[in-house]
Structure 1
């Protein structure tokens, strides 16, 4: 099935011939800052949801890790709490299955008896920076990018394993398997190592056209295909037969777990950004701009990634390192008064009020947002954050607004590279945590100079996972012919005057990066 634009409404035909919308499916979204379980009915309405957060560990500069057991427990806790909510509020609606979305580029080394011997080394980790820099400038690096669709960068599993081979030799020798966080979840539940084609396509080790591990990449990493998980379709499902595990999760024995895809690909599907010219902009801890394509278009400048949704559909785009992590950094460092307010106070709204009082363009203050290096379009792990143009009239509010504008300038630079590769973008769908902020979404519309739509639920990756799960379980899906936006979408129209201000600042933003990249 090729997914189409708009909310996909699904139905199961019962024996009496009537459509049954009472069943439900759970999308489990394993993210960088939290795991969320969201129960949906067939129309995409949220019936229950619960999320559990966890920290990013940084044992030394440039190292970013997470405890895989902590994330596993967050998956268990989120699912069991949602099942409790459903038992209380929707006791007559049967669960059809659970489908999984997860963040990309994680690496966990596992020993022979199935214990992790490293933390989960996440996308933001920079320890393999020199490995990536050396490889990127070679003909082999270009070949790997074209074959695997993954840019040569410290985020990639390929570069992480190459670094481990040279700098953590004992760990490398002990490693029986090299896996990601979703693979760890399925191993804990089913005692088997499997990886979906979508996540495999983000490792830098997978041939995205042949759907198999790419031998030249394996040779470079110094590993065998047997040390990686078995690649399977995004529709692959296993049924939980362990009664103890089922009880812990609060689900019936025999519940189907659909492996699903990567959070980025599923976000496009979840918001309906599946037609040419329609882009998904997602900002959680990091951020990304993505479009769906029916061909694996290669950018000879290696600015954008090409990841699989399914064998006939590729998500082309670019991810930035610095999304919501910037707002959290600014709030916790420079607006500590907000962190001490009672939990029932909406600090995000208060933050928006502060930056709304500042003129668009922050009165000439420009921010390069590269606090954790950068991925697309520069793929420069050495990039640094910079405020430029500071004058006496600039207040805390100016610095806060310039931070948000700089974050969006970085995303806009990705969008421009993407348009050169796949064609013009005319419509944006926004999702992720920051899509809850009307102020942020309006600035997004003004910077991009394109209409932006936000779905009623911004849990796009979880809903995308649910849609894949419904199809995997053989539940009839009937894409409806909707307009670009559904009636329930919030829409934001760009302000042309503000865009002209942002265009001038963006041009300066681009020049500053070019002038400072050697200093980084």
Structure 2
């Protein structure tokens, strides 16, 4: 009897559920978007119960549309957004809304944790390059001081994947890849970080039972079976962080392989076989991989595809009303402009700059405008700006002695041939698109298959299901102009740092 695997992608603004055969072939996928709660400045929340309601609705829809009998679904796993914190009481009920990873209420607490432990210790324990309000430890400290009634009643601190596993199985189980950025887990000693727990005044008993990625967590409970339509014979398996699952689904988890995802943000992931030593001058994130003994370099920038979305909304409204595919129109215009956009350079920092600048005051800039520039130059300059961010990330990876044999492109940006060609020319690396459309869902399904014993391990599963996409090879003719433009991009940012500092909010 053919069996099926269920991959769940619990994203920041949408959930996806997808069924695959036990050979990794896609069967059916359903998706639903949702809107986060932002009633207060800097606060980003969502009702924890609504995450579960959304998942139940999607699984029922997936089963109905696919026609797959629930008893044929052998196992499932979750690919999860990172850092979203959920506080439960003794009975397993949420004490408040989930605090989303985007929430910045705990900036002062982040500063205090950094000052107390120091960036070097933080890195050596968690692999994180800095302490930001994103990390759950900072939010727990905020709760202790600003919402003591919740802090005192919290019996279970969970991240989103853990909460979904709990609702599916009734078990408090987590996996180690997702918890690396919590600042509560020592990724090298493979234990909860006792000094951090003591500093926050919490105990290990308030945290879930840790497992590796792709390990059995429990069977679907009778209660969850009734709510989702799943069979109680379906095994629930630990998944991984969405970026990790994306790399697994893309089949690019071996040292030397780098994936880049141009979605709303730019995320770059590189698997390495060692923990990279701390370097104050070159901060990176290097955390534990889903594969034991392997690590992942994670680099990101807040605004990439989001810049293109802003540009399309502001300057292509007429074409949108006329039914044009705006993004393909931008591609065509960018094709008409020469490499380097005739001296027009953009800083794409519309919401601050992350790696490697870590400057929340940075802002977007167009530089070099002349009377000769047209809209097509602005279209190309945006695509080039994201490619320059990518090159900075690649140079960081190579700067610590790691080899980058090629770049594998995922996300919406991979659908643009001109953008992929620009990335290849700017980075001087071969860029290959990933054939799989929903890499995170497939990555979660692969982990489910590992946990169910269908695949012997993650590496062999990845080799079995990975395919090839379009290949873009860098051209020598654009090398000089992109080296010059990339230099202008770096110099422009450095020159404007005092301005960002002086006039930033």
TM-score after normalising by structure 2: 0.88
Map 1:84-483 onto structure 2 (within 5 A): 84-87=64-67, 94-133=72-111, 135-136=113-114, 140-151=118-129, 152-234=131-213, 235-242=215-222, 245-301=224-280, 302-337=283-318, 340=321, 346-477=325-456
Contact in 2 for aligned 1:53/1:74 (Cα 8 Å): no
Contact in 2 for aligned 1:29/1:263 (Cα 8 Å): yes
Unaligned runs of 5+ in 1: 1-19
Query: Quick one: structure 1 residues 389 and 297, their matched pair in 2 at CA, closer, same or farther if it must change by over 3 Å?
Result: same
- In structure 1, how many angstroms separate the alpha carbons of the residues matched to 2:388 and 2:95? 39
CA deviation vs aligned residue, 1:102-135 (integer Å, no higher than 9, x gap): 1112123334443434433333333333443455
CA deviation vs aligned residue, 1:329-382 (integer Å, no higher than 9, x gap): 32233333355466xx64432343343333332322222222233332233333
Structure 2 equivalent of residue 14 of structure 1:
none
* Structure 2 SS opposite 1:403: helix
What is the CA-CA distance between 1:25 and the residue it aligns to?
0.9
Map 1:53-92 onto structure 2 (within 5 A): 53-87=33-67
Unaligned runs of 5+ in 2: none
CA deviation vs aligned residue, 1:184-220 (integer Å, no higher than 9, x gap): 2123223333211111112121001222210122233
CA deviation vs aligned residue, 1:61-108 (integer Å, no higher than 9, x gap): 443334434433332233222222321xx6699322112111112123
Query: Quick one: structure 1 residues 140 and 40, their matched pair in 2 at CA, closer, same or farther if it must change by over 3 Å?
Result: same
What is the CA-CA distance between 1:397 and the residue it aligns to?
3.7
Contact in 2 for aligned 1:435/1:458 (Cα 8 Å): no
Contact in 2 for aligned 1:48/1:86 (Cα 8 Å): yes
Structure 2 equivalent of residue 510 of structure 1:
490
- In structure 2, how many angstroms separate the alpha carbons of the residues matched to 1:383 and 1:366? 15
Matched, 1:46 2:46: no
Query: Quick one: structure 1 residues 438 and 224, their matched pair in 2 at CA, closer, same or farther if it must change by over 3 Å?
Result: same
Contact in 2 for aligned 1:54/1:70 (Cα 8 Å): no
Moved over 6 A (4+): 478-483
Contact in 1 for aligned 2:18/2:30 (Cα 8 Å): yes
* Structure 2 SS opposite 1:98: strand
What is the CA-CA distance between 1:428 and the residue it aligns to?
1.0
Moved more, 22-31 or 434-443: 434-443
- In structure 2, how many angstroms separate the alpha carbons of the residues matched to 1:324 and 1:199? 24
Contact in 1 for aligned 2:85/2:160 (Cα 8 Å): yes
TM-score after normalising by structure 1: 0.86
Contact in 1 for aligned 2:312/2:327 (Cα 8 Å): no
- In structure 2, how many angstroms separate the alpha carbons of the residues matched to 1:133 and 1:502? 38
* Count of residues in correspondence between the two structures: 495
